[in-house]
Structure 1
Amino acid sequence: MLKAPFTDLPYEPTVDMFLAGLETEYNDREFKDGLLRLDPNSKVDRLEIIKKYIIKNQEYLSYRHKFLLVKELEKALLNKGYNFAAVFEYDYDKDEPSPSPWSASEIETPRSFFEDVFNMANEIWRNEILRAAMEDPSAW
């Protein structure tokens, strides 16, 4: 079983893990200012947000972790009823805020935001995803 990085716990990826790179609370002012000057509804800015903050934040993951994370997002995207807006909101069940500095009401189309994340992750991590896809996940 694949373990979560730096732990002995099983790796259980979720869609909201992609937003970890948007966390501003524990980053410096320059990081926060740079992120907040971008508009998540602008296609150009959105791609910069995804590449510079979301994908970059996940680079520590192994190719297997990246593969499973992208597969989890793919599964959500295939589910027409998946509520992507909820990922941008406070999770009352877990008593956790979203790492996103933007609420769901500020994101015009949360689903398309994650479609762009999916496409960019597949583009940037292409070789790693292909490598993991050639393996048997039950052997991890």
Structure 2
Amino acid sequence: MIDPSTGQPYVPTPAYFLGCFDIYDREETLGEELEKFDPNNPVDREVLILNYSLTKRWKITYRQKFLLYKSLGDALRDSSYDFQALLEHDSQTCSSLPNGWDTMNNPRIFFEDIYKFATEVWADDLRKAEAEDRSTWDYV
């Protein structure tokens, strides 16, 4: 599918759910805000997911949400998918997650919770996209 805002192919991965936690050049603002939460704690994890990862600040269409949701579902069904790799810092990129996230106890649980909450929060958008004939969507 073509991303309507960029005109480029939209090929989401589960990593897209982490973009909102990127503190690169925002260590003193977003970084300090996120440091208050422990992604290993289920209560904190829910707040992080609902208030950041699934927030209405996302400027993506219902179709993009659907494809992103499906990509996460596919990854979760793959028992060998390496969710830990998504959290590891890459010194070649201008991005970083909050301190300690690269040693999260069980990254799969974090993404399972994202999927669970997305199922609820994005329910209307997901139903709308599911009801459409995807062959009519703009693809490359």
- TM-score bracket, normalised by the shorter chain, equals 0.7 to 0.9
The residue aligned with 1:51 is 50
Which secondary structure does the structure 1 equivalent of 2:55 belong to?
helix
How far, CA to CA, are the matches of 1:6 and 1:42 in structure 2? 35
| TM-score under structure 2 length normalisation | 0.87
Contact 1:21 1:58 in 2 (8 A): no
The residue number in structure 2 matching 1:122 is 119
Q: 1 CA distance for matches of 2:15 and 2:22? A: 12
Matching residue's letter, 1:61: I
C-alpha RMSD of the superposition = 2.0
Aligned-residue offset at 1:136: 1.4
Q: Partner of 1:10 in structure 2? A: 9
Cα contact 2:23–2:95 (8 A) shared by 1: no
Would the aligned equivalents of 2:24 and 2:95 in 1 still touch at CA under 8 Å?
A: no
Change (3 A) 1:99 1:18: farther
Match of 1:96 in 2: 93
Aligned residue type for 1:41: N
Distance 2:94 2:86 in 1: 9
Alpha-carbon offset, residue 97 of structure 1: 6.0
CA distance in 2, matches of 1:111, 1:58: 24
Map 1:44-83; keep pairs closer than 5 Å: 44-56=43-55, 59-83=58-82
The total of aligned residue pairs comes to 136
Mark the CA change 1:40 to 1:116 in structure 2 (over 3 Å): closer, same or farther.
same
Q: Percent of aligned pairs with the same residue?
A: 35
The one-letter code matched in structure 2 to 1:23 is D
Deviation at 1:8, TM superposition (A): 1.3
| Structure 1 Cα separation of the partners of residues 29 and 89 of structure 2 | 25
CA drift at 1:56:
1.5
Q: In structure 1, list runs of 5 or more residues that go unmatched.
A: none
The 1:44/1:103 distance shift into structure 2, 3 A limit, reads closer
Residue type at the aligned position of 1:49: L
Q: Which residue of 2 aligns with 1:37?
A: 36
- Structure 1 counterpart of 2:134: 137
Unpaired runs of 5+ in structure 2? none
